């Protein structure tokens, strides 16, 4: 069975893809913003609401016990997916941004002091910049930024930025703006030599290759459900148990408490210590279903599909000499950003939309990266497992038509 046939089988599980937009077949190439959801995921949400909708934990009735069991089974699915040692290391969040903010507040405020350094890269998403900027204001620590090479990859001498004052390295595994895969293992190794903590933003990596947090030896890893075929509003923070235990509580209220009295409050054990209030129950269950769905496909096939997609996109890249394709490093996922010297990316996106093609335009929440490149932003086509060779050729034809109309 060839790759194209595998993709066609996967597409059958995504009803949203089988529709027309303004009279044209939908070609969805905005997967880095959010992925579409297979029927198994949406069905799990309906099942929760139609069959066992109830609040979780401490319930004395059948529905509450069933909802609790399904939610905690989901935590085990996530633990297995990232190969954590214990379910105590899996914290459910609102998403990647929420997870980073949790670490900044609950760890950073307690462990950083004046003169300590936090190290990030130029290509970071705003969610992995702004929380550290605010933390530095509070603690008088210093935010250092590693510049990138012209192709979007890390400089070979990046280890020179890691020193005795480095207390945290917080980096995205894959750039959401360029698709470049960063040398995460080398980064972790360099940080470990100086005793720095490691946070990995895996939002753009989680659907492209397997994650093993024990093999990586990171302190924290965060990702969002909606980037990996799950729902919005749910995410995961993995943290080493000892590190999580050393962190102060982030939000307070119900669920994360052990006992409350007017004389004082004691807090719950992990993982509930960081999960205040009623959780996103159906989101957690649906996220687990998405991870099961992805795992069942198998990483060998996933990476075979993506490699084929990159080859197909190369034909598009080669056919548009007037476009500047950004961050074309060797190690990359199937995400491609481009600019035209005289045509605004927003105009390109608008004309593509008129032809049924969904891409992303703008700065992609990476304004410092574009400033370093002296660019206003880009148009971005990002692929997923259900994108076919035919769709990429339709994109190529529509892009050519759009550029001709705008020239």
Task: Give whole-number Cα distances, 174 to 152, 207, 225, 386, in Å.
Answer: 11, 11, 16, 20
Contact residues for 299 (Cβ-Cβ < 8 A; gap 6+): 209, 210
Burial class, 124, CB count within 10 angstroms (exposed 0-12 / middle 13-18 / buried 19+): buried
Tracing tokens 């390295």 back to the chain, one arrives at 169
Q: Is 257 helix (H, G, I), strand (E, B) or coil?
A: strand
Between strands 90-93 and 335-339, the pairing is unpaired
DSSP code for 382: E
Distance CA 107, CA 144 (A): 18
Please pick, among 136, 207, 218, 365, the residue that the annotation labels catalytic: 365
Contact residues for 12 (Cβ-Cβ < 8 A; gap 6+): none
Tell me phi and psi for residue 21, to 5 degrees.
Answer: -115, 115
Which H or E element spans position 169?
strand 166-172
Distance CA 123, CA 146 (A): 9
Task: Give whole-number Cα distances, 68 to 14, 86, 93, 400, in Å.
Answer: 28, 18, 17, 53
- Determine whether 136 is an active site residue: no
User: If you count DSSP H runs as helices and E runs as strands, how many of each does the chain have, helices first?
Assistant: 14, 17
Helix, strand, coil % over all residues of the chain, rounded to 5: 45, 20, 35
Residues forming the active site: 365
């Amino acid at each position: 069975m060839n790759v194209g046939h595998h993709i066609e089988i996967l597409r059958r599980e995504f009803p949203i893809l089988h529709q027309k937009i303004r009279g044209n077949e939908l070609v969805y190439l905005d997967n880095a913003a959010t992925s579409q959801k297979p029927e198994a995921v949406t069905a799990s949400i309906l099942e929760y609401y139609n069959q066992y909708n109830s609040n979780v934990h401490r319930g004395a009735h059948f529905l509450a016990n069933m909802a609790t069991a399904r939610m905690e089974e989901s935590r085990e699915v996530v633990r297995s997916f990232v190969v954590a040692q214990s379910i105590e290391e899996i914290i459910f969040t609102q998403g990647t941004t929420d997870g980073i903010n949790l670490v900044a507040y609950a760890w950073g405020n307690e462990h950083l002091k004046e003169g300590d350094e936090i190290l990030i890269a130029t290509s970071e998403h705003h969610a992995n910049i702004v929380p550290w900027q605010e933390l530095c204001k509070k603690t008088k620590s210093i935010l250092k930024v590693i510049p990138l090479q012209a192709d979007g990859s890390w400089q070979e001498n990046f280890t020179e930025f890691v020193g005795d004052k480095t207390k945290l390295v917080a980096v995205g595994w894959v750039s959401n703006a360029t698709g470049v895969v960063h040398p995460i293992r080398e980064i972790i190794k360099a940080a470990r030599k100086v005793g720095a903590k490691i946070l990995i933003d895996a939002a753009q990596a989680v659907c492209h290759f397997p994650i093993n947090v024990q093999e990586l030896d990171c302190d924290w890893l965060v990702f969002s459900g909606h980037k990996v075929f799950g729902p919005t509003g749910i995410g995961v923070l993995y943290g080493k148990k000892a590190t999580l235990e050393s962190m102060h509580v982030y939000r307070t209220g119900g669920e994360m408490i052990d006992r409350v009295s007017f004389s004082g409050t004691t807090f719950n054990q992990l993982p509930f210590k960081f999960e205040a209030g009623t959780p996103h129950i159906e989101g957690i269950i649906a996220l687990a279903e998405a991870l099961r769905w992805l795992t069942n496909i198998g990483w060998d096939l996933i990476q075979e599909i993506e490699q084929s997609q990159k080859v197909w996109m190369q034909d598009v890249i080669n056919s548009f000499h007037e476009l500047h394709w950004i961050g074309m490093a060797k190690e990359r996922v199937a995400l491609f950003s481009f600019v035209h010297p005289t045509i605004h990316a927003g105009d390109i996106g608008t004309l593509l939309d008129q032809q049924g093609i969904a891409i992303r335009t703008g700065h992609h929440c990476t304004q410092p990266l574009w400033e370093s490149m002296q660019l206003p932003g880009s148009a971005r086509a990002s692929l997923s497992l259900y994108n076919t060779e035919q769709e990429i050729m339709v994109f190529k034809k529509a892009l050519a038509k759009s550029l001709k109309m705008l020239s």
